[in-house]
Amino acid sequence: MGNAPRAAEGFLNNMSSELKTVFVGLAGLGNVGAGVYKNLLKNGDLLTDRTGVRLQVKRIAVRSPEKHVGLQIPEGMLTTDWRDLVRDPEIPIIVELIGGVTEAYDLVKTAILAGKTVVTGNKALLAGHGYELVALAEREDVPLYFEAAVAGGIPIIKAVREALIGNHIQAIYGIINGTTNYILTRMSEAGLGYGEALGEAQALGYAEADPTLDVNGWDAGHKAIILAWLSYGHWVKPEQVHVEGITQISQTDLTFARGMGYAMKLVAVIRLDATNHIEVRVQPCLIPQSNIMANVHGVMNAVAVYGDIVGETLFYGSGAGQNATSSSVISDLADAADNLTNEAGTNNGFVPQGHYGACLPVDETLSRYYLRLRVDDRPGVVASISTIIAEHGIGILSLVQPEVDAGADADLMLMLHQATFGRMKQAVAAIAGLECVLAVPVLLRVETLKAR
């Protein structure tokens, strides 16, 4: 990339030795957008002292101006058309925080074509269109920043692209959705049912009124796609990513896991196998209570990164919320302003290198498993199930069936040896067809969270 985006050429030519001001166009004034605006005002002097640049919001695009009266926005700053931000020659940086994909895509693409630096926190946009937008930004010679798209206030993007730049990334494991982590924490620690824990999360503002993207796992899935690209230079298509949510998790599963020395977490797995195939998946899984990730509670996030030189590194912090996410946006703004005002052009965003192989099909991924079955409590049931598992070449590590009254239904929990997911699915499908199995089986992975 060159020294400066063309939209900033006039701005740079007119700079003097006095304090430099960089104007920002902010698209979106929801929870995160409002946080960016307020925190830029709150810590503006601190930023100026540290960067030598004054960052100033000039225009803000919103859908409904009347909703933002409480923020005391100066008259004339609000507009209902984000194109006003892009058309303003005094605004070299556009911050996209409107959410969604379609309009956000149009905004980011238009801004890049206009030569504007773009900062976004839109994980769904990047997961679906990142390949195209990054290529466009490279072609147009303008930076695209997105620290806020993954893990809220945790600077995981900077860590991978800067601090670990000399490492081959072997694996990344992440608890990267605060809503689901809060729900699972409350279910485990307070004995709440899934519905109760979700309702509590919504009441506290940790979950949206429509929590679908959180609880079905796709919020974490979008972030996993971005982390895979950062690590391996390959954009995995959403349809190639195996994603499961937490809606099927019950107190029975949590109790059994705890008794066996495991915690239940929704974990994103991104890793490279020996054949340079990239494994990207998100699912609730059992992890050993001795692992530090098992002790990430509430809405907190954690990301473990394994590099071939550095070994294991762990990043922990608030993964969502107005202040945490706006902190990441402001960090990108500082980098963008530095890039604009530094004639050497030393910070033009990030282009990952490597371009490793294709995505590993989920049916070829390996792990151990937990299987819970609701069965008739009668002779021969365990033998029938064990036979099917053995016929598929899978070993049983342990089997637990709590005592029940004669004739009552029973829960049967099995811990199974490592097997491919495809073989495991075939075995479970055959077991589900047995007359003695009374409900849909619950199959969960057991992860050790090691480098390979």
* Residue 230: partners with Cβ closer than 8 Å, 6 or more residues away: 157, 160, 161, 350, 352
CATH architecture of 6-152+322-341: 3-Layer(aba) Sandwich (3.40)
**Which pLDDT band holds residue 134 (cuts at 50, 70, 90)?**
very high
Q: Which amino acid is at 362?
A: V
Among all residues, which ones are annotated catalytic? Answer: 223
| Average pLDDT, integer, range 400-415 | 83
Dump pLDDT digits (tens) for 356-387. 568 899 999 999 999 999 999 888 999 999 99
Does 205 have pLDDT greater than 90? no
| Average pLDDT, integer, range 256-263 | 94
**Which pLDDT band holds residue 354 (cuts at 50, 70, 90)?**
low
The pLDDT of residue 318 is 87
The rounded distance, in Å, linking the Cα atoms of 201 and 205 is 6
CATH code given to domain 364-446: 3.30.70.260
Does 49 have pLDDT greater than 90? yes
Could you tell me the pTM of the whole model? 0.89
The rounded distance, in Å, linking the Cα atoms of 54 and 22 is 6
Does 347 have pLDDT greater than 50? no
Instruction: Enter the tokens of residue 400.
Output: 């637990």
Helix (H, G, I), strand (E, B) or coil at 87: helix
Dump pLDDT digits (tens) for 156-180. 999 998 899 899 999 999 999 999 9
The pLDDT of residue 67 is 86
Does 262 have pLDDT greater than 60? yes
Of all residues in the chain, the percent with pLDDT exceeding 90 is: 75
Give domain 156-318's CATH superfamily: Dihydrodipicolinate Reductase; domain 2 (3.30.360.10)
**Which pLDDT band holds residue 208 (cuts at 50, 70, 90)?**
confident
Does 353 have pLDDT greater than 90? no
Average pLDDT, the chain: 90
Render 187-248 in DSSP notation, one character per residue.
HHHH---HHHHHHHHHHTTSS-SS-HHHHTSHHHHHHHHHHHHHHHS----GGGSEE--STT
What are the structural domain ranges in the chain? 6-152+322-341, 156-318, 364-446
The pLDDT of residue 3 is 47
Choose between 207 and 18: higher pLDDT.
Answer: 207
The rounded distance, in Å, linking the Cα atoms of 26 and 57 is 7
Query: Which of 379, 380, 368 is CA-nearest to residue 420?
Result: 368
The pLDDT of residue 207 is 86
**Which pLDDT band holds residue 355 (cuts at 50, 70, 90)?**
low
**Residue 200 in contact with residue 285, Cβ under 8 Å?**
no
The pLDDT of residue 429 is 98
Query: Which of 375, 386, 397, 398 is CA-nearest to residue 427?
Result: 386
Q: What is the separation of C-alpha 265 from the centre of its chain, rounded to a whole number of angstroms?
A: 14
